[in-house]
Structure 1
Amino acid sequence: MKKNSVHMLDEVVAGRLERALGYRFANRSLLALALTHSSWANEGGSLRQHNERLEFLGDAVLELAVSKELFERFTRLREGELTRLRSQLVSTPSLARLARSLDLGRALFMGRGEERQGGRDRDAVLSDAFEAVLAAVYEDGGFAAAHACVRKLFSPLWPKREDASPRHKDFKTLLQEIMQQRYRDRPLYRLLASHGPEHAKVFEVVVSLPDGREYAACGTSCKKAEQEAARLALEAEQAPPQATAR
């Protein structure tokens, strides 16, 4: 890590977050990095690092930790039901809610422009910060520590056994179920491009179906763009066939 590339974290803020996480960092600079938004780094110059790499890692750590917890809690649920539960738990609104419970928005190092635009309370920013903090725990203490944090922080969100199967499904889950039933295969998502400044990026994603059809969509995060692409694919699935000209 480059010298002076990460902002010093206030002792009171660090202690408050560690108590809320149930984890004490050996290397608090990881926590400081997790709380550093790209807008702060961009305004401060090229030496400053930010949390996007940790966010990338945290996304994978979170998915594994939630998957393991659901697998152990709901031994009778099938793969499709577990997938739906996980999708709801790791959704952007769900993670933003947890980030607000930790007051992550107030703790973020953020550029003035992003802050003026309401970045400290934006769901996408908060959910990304939550994933970055979890990655920091993982890097500092390993998967067992990260899993323990997930178990603790998600405690208000774990469904009860009697309502383990949710009534509402997101677009990606619905599309995957249809494709698995029809083709015994799943849709694939890939990032085509991203546009705009760091504090207001737009991501373009395409979903490829097993039969070769593709649907592209944009969103303010990869997750939102994927959901929109899945929604477009579902609309096409449900649309009546068009009459061909004779």
Structure 2
Amino acid sequence: MTKDRINELKEFEEIIGVKFQKLFILDLALTHSSFANEHPSILNHNERLEFLGDSVLSMIVSEYLYKKYKDKQEGKLSRIRASVVCESSLSEMARKIMINKYISIGKGEELTGGRNKDSLLADALEAVIAAIYIDSGYEAAKNFVLNFLKDKIDAVSKDEIFNDYKSKLQEYLQKRQDCLIKYNLLSESGLPHDKTFEIEVQIDGKSSGKGKGKSKKEAEQRAAKQALKNLGVDLDE
């Protein structure tokens, strides 16, 4: 590793609050296959770590849900976990810790906007989780994940996000008449890695609900939820 790369990785350590014993493992977690393909001297990339990190992340979230939400059954716990570890959720966390700034990607991938692709960022985050697990153990990986995801898990567990209100709104309107539903972006604010979106849902051209979220999908769900409330729909049914 070059001196500049070592300094970059040390900056990243400060952001995530984890000190690596073996810095090369973190470097590997932040090396995309496109970068390795363009540099013959680099033999490895982060896909194997991504594979491991997926399982470690699932274990951490499952354990947290199992211990904290003793009243929820297996099916509900599975749906909550799926919502938390989905690509949009992980890419959101990846942007918060600025993985897009520190990941090494190939020039071709860079030109096609790879540094901002949800899939690439989510995969890199899983690789970082695996790197922490390998370097410092399960508890360190768990502390890292929960430090950034615990609030999200709890919000989803309270049905604030994981309920599919968009589908409920669509189904409700289809039973009554053919309506045109449209979601419009009203505003976008905040830093590139920590944006807040405001979405408005229109039914036949009329504003029916608004919602804010850390992703467009989250804001759309909250806008749909507000529309359902405005229509007098019982959301507990």
What range is the shorter-chain TM-score in?
0.5 to 0.7
Matches within 5 A, 1:46-61: 47-61=42-56
Q: Kindly state the Cα deviation for residue 106 of structure 1 after the two structures are TM-superposed.
A: 1.3
Deviation at 1:25, TM superposition (A): 0.5
Matches within 5 A, 1:169-188: none
Aligned to 1:131: 126
Equivalent-residue separation in structure 1 for 2:90 and 2:64 (angstroms): 16
The answer to whether the 8 Å contact 2:36/2:44 transfers is: yes
| Paired residues of 1:9 and 1:32 also in contact (CA < 8 A) | no
C-alpha spacing 1:49/1:161, structure 2 compared with 1 (3 Å):
closer
Amino acid at match of 1:167: N
Partner of residue 110 from structure 1, selected from 81, 102, 105: 105
Shift in Å at residue 75 of structure 1? 1.4
In structure 2, relative to structure 1, the CA distance for the partners of 1:124 and 1:9 (3 Å cut) is farther
Q: TM-score, normalised by structure 1?
A: 0.62
- Counterpart among 65, 85, 89 of residue 90 in structure 1: 85
Once the two structures are superposed, residues 52-91 of structure 1 have per-residue CA deviations (whole angstroms, 9 ceiling, x without a partner) of 0000000000100111111122111111111000000000
Q: Could you tell me how far apart the structure 1 residues matched to 2:105 and 2:140 are?
A: 27
Which of 60, 63, 67 pairs up with 2:58? 63
Letter matched to residue 145 of structure 2: V
Is the partner of 1:159 in helix, strand or coil? helix
Pair 1:31–1:8, CA change in 2 (3 A): farther
CA distance in 1, matches of 2:33, 2:78: 31
Q: Which runs of 5+ in 2 are unaligned?
A: 166-237
1:194-220 CA distance string (max 9 Å, x none): xxxxxxxxxxxxxxxxxxxxxxxxxxx
Check conservation: 2:84, 2:156, Cα contact below 8 A: no
C-alpha change, 1:168 and 1:118, in structure 2 (3 Å) is same
The verdict on how the C-alpha distance between 1:16 and 1:157 changes in structure 2, with shifts beyond 3 A counting, is farther
> For residue 27 of structure 2, what is the amino acid of its counterpart?
A
Letter in 1 for 2:62: S
The residue aligned with 2:163 is 167
Equivalent residues in 2 for 1:159-238 (5 A)?
159-160=154-155, 163-164=158-159, 166-168=162-164
CA distance in 1, matches of 2:57, 2:121: 15
Shift, 1:7, TM fit: 6.9
**How far is the alpha carbon of 1:15 from its aligned partner?**
2.7
Q: Distance in 2 between matches of 1:12 and 1:142?
A: 24
**Consecutive aligned runs of 4 or more in structure 1 exceeding 4 Å deviation:** 6-9
Q: For the residues of structure 2 that align with 1:79 and 1:21, how far apart are their CA atoms?
A: 31
Deviates more, 1:8-17 or 1:77-86: 8-17
Q: In structure 2, what is the equivalent of residue 99 of structure 1?
A: 94
Q: TM-score, normalised by structure 2?
A: 0.64
Bigger mean CA deviation after superposition, 22-31 or 123-132: 22-31
Residues 132, 140 of structure 2: 8 Å contact kept = yes
2:20–2:132 contact (8 Å) kept in structure 1: yes
User: Could you say which residue in structure 1 is the equivalent of 2:19?
Assistant: 24
CA distance in 1, matches of 2:11, 2:151: 20
Cα distance in 2 between the residues matched to 1:141 and 1:63: 18
State the 1:17 CA deviation. 2.2
Q: CA deviation at 1:11?
A: 3.8
2:30 equivalent in structure 1 = 35
Cα pair 1:58 1:131 within 8 Å, conserved: yes
2:9 to 7, 14, 25: 14
